[in-house]
Each structure stands twice: as C-alpha cells, then as structure tokens.
C-alpha cells in the first residue's frame, strides 16, 4: 500500500540535474552495427498507433498491414536483414475488433486506449465498463489514462484506487498507465505518479496520450525509468516503459534506447518491457536502416504511408 507522504519522500528530482543527465546520454554516438541493431530493436518495440476522431476501418486495416510487414521485402530497397514486425497496434475501443481480425495469425498485440481517453474524466463505473469491453473484444493490452485533475489536487488515493479497479477489470490483459506527464509539469510529479501507478498494479507506465501540448521527452522518460528501477529493487517486480508522442526520428528512438540500456540494463531491452507509442516513427527507422545497408540517403517516396 502507499501513502502520499511516502510517495513524496521518494519523489525528489532536481530538474537541472536530470536534464543534464538526459542531454549527456543523448550524445552517445550510435554507429554502424549498433545503429542497425538499434533500429531493428526499435521497430520491434513500436506500438503503431492511430488515435484520431476520423479513424476508420480502412485506416486501421492498412496500418495493421504496415505493422505486420513494415517494409515490402520485394522492393529494390530490400535489405538483407530481417525486418521485424512491430510489437502492437494501438487503437480506439471501436477499432479493436477490426485490428484483431487484421492481425489474426500474427504475434502482434492489439492495444486499446480506454478510461475516457484522452482526458480520463468519465465516471469510474464507465471507465471500468469500457475496460471490460475492450478486453472482451480481445485487446491484449489496455492503455488507460489517469485523472490528472485528481492527481494535481492531491487526491492521490482516488487515482490509486482507480488504477487498482481498472487493473482488476483488465483480467489477463496488460495494463499500461498513461500519466500524461506534460500536464503533471514537474519531475517530482512524474516520479510520484510513476510510483503510484506501479504500486497500484500497472504493468507498464506510459508518458503521454499524444494529445497534450508536451508529450514524451528524454528527461521525463529517464525519470520514469529510474523510478521503475527503484521499484524493481524494492519489490522485485519488473514494470515496462512506454514513451509516446513526438518520437518521429531514428535518432530520437536510439536516444531512448540508450536511456534504457544505461538505466535498466539488458533485461529491459526488449518489446516485453519497452515500447514506443508512435505513428510516423516506423518509416524513419526504415529509411535509416536502408541507408545503413545501401549507403544512400533515402526518400519518403519509397516508403509506404499508411
């Protein structure tokens, strides 16, 4: 169990220090084999996401094809390496069954946002009901959002209890808890919310909905990774991490992998424990991978936009 006081004690982060550390890690030079391996690892960690009001079955089906086979192996740009599938697709509840069908027979997971995404401001029974529905429809993973208003006004117990209830409603499905760090503003809050979510049962903690003004950043992710590490030391339970929103380039993705490697080590360097929530990252990873193989800088004209 948790108390607010305990969380506060565990939640001291110096802004300048954490930002300097993140900046320093972001300068790691990733070249050659490391770069190729990193890019492939990153592709395998993607939660390929579409979360728009205009999402349709056609859009989701197309995205699922990209998820299965990110690059056409018959293209002239074919790289000798095997290109992995992404880890999951992430959609709104109404699209779960469509995605399920499109991904049948693959290992790609279906993740659905729930709990009144992106604000998290629907009544708890409805959040529970929504969660149960998406799990019933076959979602392997549920991306819930916390009630930031409650968190910021000090109602930590309320946030905690909601997560506990949603975790129950998930049954066998994995629960990712979105903290919406851009709205929590301080690193102390990010760390506190991370502890809170993990203590309440989160399988993953996730930075953002992608709908706020500020989404995933390196220092925020570093704070969350360090909290995961400390939680693991304290409880022995591994929790996964998912930065989401604003990660569009290979360079960024590799910087995130550096954070994982140097904060949590080898055990977390897999899509079981680390995901990217992204919609356009895939193509840049592919372009950089092809560039590494061919020595030619690439054009987006040769990569499918789905």
Partner 1 sequence: MTTLEKKVTRLEVVEPKQLNFGKKWDYAPAPEATDFVKIKPRYELFIGGKFVKPKSGNYFKSINPATEEVLTEVAEANEADVDAAVRAARNAYEKYWSKLAPAERAKYIFRIARQLQEKGREFAILETMDGGKPIKEARDGDIPLSVAHFFYYAGWADKLEYAFPGRKCRPLGVAGQVIPWNFPLLMAAWKLAPALACGNTVVLKPAETTPLTALHLAQIIQEADLPPGVVNIVTGFGKTGAALVKHPDINKIAFTGSTEVGKGIMKSIAGTGKKMTLELGGKAANIIFEDAPMDQAIEGIINGIYFNQGHVCCAGSRLFVQESVKDIVIRKLYDRIQTLRVGNPLDKNTDVGAINSREQLGKIKELVESGVQEGCKLHQSACELPKKGFWFPPTFFTGVAQSNRIAQEEIFGPVLSVLTFRTPEEAVEKANNTAYGLSAGVWTDKGSKIFKISSKLKAGVIWANTYNKFDPTSPFGGYKESGFGREGGLHGLLPYVKLVR
Partner 2 sequence: MQKRSEILKTYKLFIGGQFPRSESGHYFQVFSPKTKKPVANVARGSRKDLRDAVTAARKALPSWSAKTAYNRGQILYRMAEVLENRKEELIVEMVKMTGCLHKKAEKEVTTCIDRLVWYAGWADKYQQIFGTVNPVAAPYFNFTLPEPVGVVGIIVSDEWPLVPLVSKLAPALVAGNTLVLIASEKYPLSAITFAEIIATSDVPAGVVNILTGIKKEMIGHLAKHMDVNSINYTGSDVSVLKMLQEEGSANVKRVIAHDYPKGEEWLNNAKAQSPYWIHSFVEMKTTWHPIGI
**How far apart are alpha carbons 172 and 193 in whole angstroms?**
24
- Which residue, chain included where needed, has tokens 């903690």? 205
Residues β-bridged to residue 9: none
291 is a contact residue toward partner 1 (CB under 8 A): no
Centroid of chain to Cα 279: 11
Is the Cβ of residue 22 or residue 98 nearer to partner 1 in the bound state? 22
Figure out which of the listed residues 104, 153, 262, 280 binds partner 1, where binding follows CB under 8 A: 262
Q: Per-residue string for binding with partner 1, 34-73, x by CB under 8 A?
A: xx-xx--x--------------------------------
* Range 136-155, binding partner 1 (CB under 8 A): none
Query: Nearest-CA neighbor of 275 among 303, 239, 230?
Result: 239
- Work out what residue 180 binds among partner 2, partner 1, none; the CB cut-off runs from 5 to 8 Å by kind: none
- Work out what residue 186 binds among partner 1, partner 2, none; the CB cut-off runs from 5 to 8 Å by kind: partner 2
Query: Nearest-CA neighbor of 112 among 138, 87, 86?
Result: 138
* Range 224-243, binding partner 1 (CB under 8 A): 226, 229, 233, 236
Q: Which two tokens stand for residue 90?
A: 């992430």
261 is a contact residue toward partner 1 (CB under 8 A): yes
Note whether 206 and 277 are within 8 A (CB).
Answer: yes
- Work out what residue 185 binds among partner 1, partner 2, none; the CB cut-off runs from 5 to 8 Å by kind: partner 2
From the candidates 47, 147, 242, 284, give the one annotated as an active-site residue: 242
List of residues contacting partner 1 (CB under 8 A): 9, 12-14, 16-18, 20-21, 27-35, 37-38, 41, 226, 229, 233, 236, 257, 261-262, 264-267, 269
């Amino acid at each position: 169990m948790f108390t607010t006081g305990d969380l506060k004690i565990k939640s001291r982060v110096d802004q300048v220090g954490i930002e300097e550390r993140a900046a320093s890690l972001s300068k790691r030079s990733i070249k050659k084999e490391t770069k190729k391996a990193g890019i492939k690892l990153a592709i395998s960690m993607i939660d390929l996401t579409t979360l728009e009001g205009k999402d349709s079955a056609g859009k989701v089906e197309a995205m699922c094809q990209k998820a299965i086979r990110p690059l056409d192996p018959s293209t002239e740009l074919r790289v000798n390496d095997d290109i992995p599938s992404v880890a999951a697709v992430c959609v709104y509840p109404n699209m779960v069954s469509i995605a399920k069908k499109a991904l049948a027979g693959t290992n790609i997971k279906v993740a659905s946002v729930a709990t009144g995404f992106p604000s998290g401001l629907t009544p708890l029974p409805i959040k529970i009901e929504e969660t149960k529905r998406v799990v019933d429809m076959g979602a392997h993973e549920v991306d819930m959002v916390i009630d930031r208003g409650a968190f910021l006004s000090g109602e930590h117990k309320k946030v905690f209890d909601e997560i506990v209830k949603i975790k129950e409603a998930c049954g066998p499905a994995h629960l990712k808890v979105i903290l919406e760090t851009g709205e929590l503003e301080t690193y102390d809050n990010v760390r506190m919310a991370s502890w809170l979510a993990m203590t309440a049962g989160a399988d993953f903690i996730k930075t953002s909905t992608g709908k706020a003004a500020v989404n995933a950043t390196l220092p925020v992710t570093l704070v969350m990774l360090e909290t995961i590490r400390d939680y693991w030391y304290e409880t022995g339970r591994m929790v996964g991490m998912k930065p989401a929103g604003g990660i569009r380039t290979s360079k960024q993705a590799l910087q995130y992998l550096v954070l994982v490697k140097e904060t949590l080590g080898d055990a977390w360097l897999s899509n079981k424990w680390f995901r990217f929530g992204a919609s356009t990252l895939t193509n840049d990873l592919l372009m950089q991978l092809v560039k590494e193989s061919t020595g030619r800088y690439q054009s987006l004209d040769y990569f499918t936009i789905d």
